[in-house]
Structure 1
Amino acid sequence: MSAAFEVPVVDISSYVTGGTPQERAATAAAMDAACRTVGFVQVTGHGVPDDVAAGLASAIDDLFSLPLDTKKQLRAPKGVNRGYTPPKSENLSLSLGVESASRMNDFFEAFNTGAAVSDYPDAPVPLDPAHYPENLWPSEELVPGFRQRVQAWEAEAGRVARTLTDVFADALGLEPGWFRGVTGHSLDVLRMNNYALPPGTVDLDGDLTGMGEHTDFGIVTVLWADQVPGLQVLGADGGWHDVMPADGALLVNLGDVMARWTNERWMSTLHRVKPPIVDGTIERRRSAAFFHDGDVDAVITALPGTVDDGEEPLYPPMTVGEHIAAKLAGSRDLQKNADAAREAARVLASTR
């Protein structure tokens, strides 16, 4: 990592355990500085128990160790963002409207869970199962305890994400808890990723992309990951920089919805995964990204104080659901996203 590039560390314990107003103000100011300059944050003081993180890691191991044909039985129908995703079936750079520099689609396998219609029985509007599909859990016989371990992590990651939005509201000078009003039936998704495949499945003599350059779609992402190289973040210098979680920290980054709400006062940071190749094979890397995306019907428009007098917002209003649908069509249906010109320009301007 370049000496000029650093992911800031922000301790959010003042929001987790009940800090003083002065302590919270200091946390909010540190978060604002981090979100203005980098968009990735090493978050400490989050309060996630070690045993819950260990349970997630073991659940990932148990699932991805299954035979490929068995895992493929856990695939969802096309267009449903749940269940198993085999290797080389997505291209995340297309979610930005740019072709991948790689000769192949993204080189990882994944398993998605997320918020379902049944999770929000008291939602103020009818929820469409197309946006809130039910989950495809492996049977208890196939992967004992998988659902319980994953849901324990989802609960903790969701708590952290909502705590972060409280920090965001204070950092942006909004009413306390403003984001709670647009996340009551949030489109939350947990994506568990595995970057290891049996030898011989790909040609390793070219440019290998684990996960293509992309921005995350929603408000904020809470990432658990191995301390293994691979994740790279696009810095203000136009270069890609290696990042991995610090001891005891969760990596947190902003998504497009937040960038649009703040009129790019805060940026959704471009990132990618480049699996390290050691002696012709890929070193294994695991991660689990919890995407806190907001209510499907929430309208994304520039927040008060983010547009200068006489200026127009950088983005037209649209709903969270419309934005997410366009991004998913890019990555999963391999269609260029025409509504991501500003993000695409940053990719094209980066140094490879």
Structure 2
Amino acid sequence: MSFRVPRVDISAYVADGTAAQRAAVAAQIDQACREVGFVQVVGHGVPDEITAAFVRAMDAFFALDLTTKKTCRTPPSVNRGYAPPKSESLSLSLGVESANRMNDFFEAFNVGATAADYPDSPGLPQDDYAENVWPDVEGFERAVSTYFAQAGRVARTLTGIFGDALGLDPDFFGSRTGHSLDVLRMNNYALPPGTDVTLDGDLTGMGEHTDFGIVTVLWADQVRGLQVLGSDGGWHDVEPDEGAFLVNLGDVMARLTNERWMSTLHRVKPPVLDGTIERRRSAAYFHDGDVDAVIEVLPSCVDADHPALYTPVTVGEHIAAKLQGSRAGVSNVAARRESESVLSSRR
């Protein structure tokens, strides 16, 4: 059976679609979430000029010298700022050791929702809702902030579709995302001058991992590199369709649905051509939910044949354990089910 990421037009939810049109979209999303966990989303309404300005801003930052970029680093507990090559290992977020513990060669820059963005939610943890670090690059903050708002709108549109697909109360996701831990991660898969990375068959752009939260909205170059683990046990190359966002579910949705919906393992393996890496850029908007929201299996997803696979956990507790792995090198011992999937894929 060939591997395919379904393509779904969500314009019925972006504009004023009829009830029948929205029901058809929700049914397509439900099928994609059950069978693949990834979707090619079109009809999202993000203007091309906003995306183009955002990509130019990314390029301008990553073109800076490594020393300048490193001035934007933050402690591992703060998911903001610059991450240089080989400073992270995504596989450790699932509790899986690799031969070189911090071996992911991508560089990244993170921005996120701050406490000031949620004035009606006082007392939010500073590390989780930290202020952003903005580089001294002309137009960067404006272009990135504008795109951040658009990607967030798409993510919230998708949770509305999820609620309809799962037959939930219309406010189900809204009541759990009023001060959502949202982060935009800009990734550059290339080797900056002065970077100590050996090009070999085991080169890891980004290790095997699942995303942490509710849903991820990904812009990416149409360049090979992203690989998704299929139900056949094989890794499959995936590129975004022209004008599409690649959307995938995170662990929170797998927990909520008792794995009726899939938080799919994926990784990045950019090709090496003539001894150099073919450059690939991406930007992932992670819509993760409120830090204090309790995630527990939906009653509608539990029966005699499908007992609950997860115990309740807050979004904050879950994500903290994942970040300790990817950013601080501390293996996530709570990710037993996920780590078993990674090890099985390696075998």
TM-score by length of 1: 0.95
Q: What's 1:294 paired with?
A: 289
1:136 counterpart SS class: coil
Whether the 8 Å CA contact 2:102–2:329 is kept in 1: the answer is no
Map of 1:218-257 to 2, 5 A cutoff?
Answer: 218-257=213-252
Distance 2:306 2:277 in 1: 49
2:128 counterpart SS class: coil
Q: Deviations over 1:162-202 (max 9, x none)?
A: 00000000000111242111000000000000011146732
Q: Tell me the CA shift for residue 77 of structure 1.
A: 2.7
Q: What's 1:126 paired with?
A: 123
TM-score by length of 2: 0.97
Q: Tell me the CA shift for residue 317 of structure 1.
A: 0.3
Q: What's 1:307 paired with?
A: 302
Distance 2:102 2:213 in 1: 26
2:16 counterpart SS class: coil
Q: Deviations over 1:81-109 (max 9, x none)?
A: 10000100000000000112668610110
Map of 1:167-316 to 2, 5 A cutoff?
Answer: 167-198=161-192, 201-309=196-304, 312-316=307-311
Distance 1:310 1:228 in 2: 42
Q: What's 2:19 paired with?
A: 21
Is residue 149 from structure 1 mapped to residue 147 from structure 2 by the alignment?
no
Matched letter for residue 133 of structure 2: L
Q: Deviations over 1:3-53 (max 9, x none)?
A: 610000111000000100000000000000000000000001100000011
Moved over 3 A (4+): 101-104, 198-201, 309-312
Distance 2:171 2:223 in 1: 35
Distance 2:196 2:52 in 1: 29
Whether the 8 Å CA contact 2:105–2:197 is kept in 1: the answer is no
Matched letter for residue 21 of structure 1: A
Q: What's 2:132 paired with?
A: 135
Whether the 8 Å CA contact 2:90–2:325 is kept in 1: the answer is yes
Q: Deviations over 1:135-184 (max 9, x none)?
A: 00113xxx100000000110000000000000000000111242111000
Q: Tell me the CA shift for residue 313 of structure 1.
A: 1.1
Q: Tell me the CA shift for residue 203 of structure 1.
A: 1.7
Q: Tell me the CA shift for residue 131 of structure 1.
A: 1.0
Distance 2:282 2:214 in 1: 19
Whether the 8 Å CA contact 1:110–1:194 is kept in 2: the answer is yes
Distance 2:9 2:161 in 1: 11
2:21 counterpart SS class: helix
Whether the 8 Å CA contact 2:40–2:240 is kept in 1: the answer is yes
Which has the higher mean CA deviation after the structures are superposed, 309-318 or 76-85?
A: 309-318
Q: What's 1:342 paired with?
A: 337
Distance 2:71 2:230 in 1: 40
Matched residue count: 346
Matched letter for residue 10 of structure 1: V
Matched letter for residue 242 of structure 1: D
Distance 2:99 2:324 in 1: 19
Identity of aligned residues (%): 69
Tell me which of 149, 153, 160 is aligned to 1:159: 153
Distance 2:175 2:10 in 1: 21
Q: Tell me the CA shift for residue 68 of structure 1.
A: 0.4
Q: What's 2:32 paired with?
A: 34
Distance 1:158 1:47 in 2: 12
Distance 2:157 2:192 in 1: 39
Change beyond 3 A, Cα 1:278–1:134: same
